[in-house]
Amino acid sequence: MLTLIPADREHMPFRQALLADPATMAYNAPWSPPDGTVPFPESAWDAWLAKWTNHEPERFCGYVATADGTPVGEICWHGHGAGMGVVIHASHRGKGYGAEALQLLIRRAFSHPEISRLENQFESARAAALHTHLNAGFVQAGTDAHGSLTLILTRAAHRERLLRRLTDAMCQWERGVPDRIHHLIKVHGFARQIGQMELLDEDTLFILEAAALTHDIGIRPAIAQTGACPGPLQERLGPPEAETMLHGLHFPREVIDRVCFLIGRHHTTQGVDAPDWQILLEADFLVNMIENHMSGEAIDACRDRVFRTGEGLRLLHWIRPPQHG
């Protein structure tokens, strides 16, 4: 797995070698003939560092490195995401590093509220680059007269893609247990509906949806350990499993931390102090009351103890089984 290292003087020799390698820079030949390489003498390092360091979110440059610290490529953006690039040294291509580096760029760029979209341009003949960008969720927005493609990824589209991939991952996690798959899909639907009707900001709604999809991820390990899945054990075993899954899907660190917090409290009704926590409890109950065939008295007690949002109360009223009133 690669890590992202902001540009510093220590990595200037690698950048110099990267730009001087004809196999790596061949894509750049139309702009820097004959072979695409770009001179980067030591005398230029200080000026380059002054331009490209400590200027987020307007522009950023960093290096991607393997677990042992070996740099394998460079990523950058400028103009608050209006332009960007990913370059992997030719000697390290074919290992999946380009796709991973692109995900690191996306995650860091969208950690800044000021960046709402990323845009890249390159020649249509670069099939591997096109494949990598499309797989990351970019969409083609046009081709100029010279045959260069424009590809765009918005923050909203990226988040929807992450949630779709998380849904798929959770269905695979619960494979063979259709009731739990149905449950997580329904809880997510109610959570999204309540969150939107309660006018949650987009960051909180994203966290809520991810938590709704993963809230019961601790059931499988709980059953494997004890043969049962009491709430407290789910809350204890769920967060580590969720962290692994979310990290593997390239969710932002701050989102992972909050989702794990919510999973660890999704059966806890005391001390609720935030809308994502409150809505997760309500959405889970709306599904559980039907699945568990709760009595009218039990529904009323939970309503009074748990529900606080207007939309949650409306949904509870509308879906309450007729035999209970």
Contact call for residues 5 and 62 (beta carbons, < 8 A):
yes
| Higher pLDDT, residue 124 or 193 | 193
Phi and psi angles of residue 317, each rounded to the nearest 5 degrees, phi first? -65, -40
Tens of pLDDT along 215-264?
999 999 999 999 988 888 999 999 999 999 999 999 999 999 999 999 99
Tens of pLDDT along 302-311?
999 999 999 9
Domains of the chain: 3-154 (3.40.630.30), 174-324 (1.10.3210.10)
pTM for the whole structure = 0.91
Bond into 221 cis (ω within 30)? no
Closest to 133 measured CA to CA, from 163, 110, 161, 102: 102
Distance between CA atoms of residues 286 and 292, nearest Å: 10
Residue 28 has pLDDT above 70, yes or no: yes
> Residue 78: beta bridge partners?
83
Tens of pLDDT along 160-215?
999 999 999 999 999 999 999 999 999 999 999 999 999 999 999 999 999 999 99
pLDDT at 325: 44
Contact call for residues 80 and 113 (beta carbons, < 8 A):
no
User: Strand locations in the chain, DSSP E?
Assistant: 3-6, 60-65, 71-78, 83-88, 117-123, 139-143, 148-154
Closest to 260 measured CA to CA, from 233, 241, 285: 241
The two most distant CA atoms of the chain are separated, in Å, by 81
Specify the pairing of strand 83-88 against strand 71-78. Answer: antiparallel
Long-range Cβ contact pairs of 43-47 (< 8 A, separation 24 or more) = 45/9, 45/12
Specify the pairing of strand 83-88 against strand 148-154. Answer: unpaired
| Four-point Cα dihedral 99, 105, 107, 109, nearest 10 | -150
Tens of pLDDT along 268-287?
999 999 999 999 999 999 99
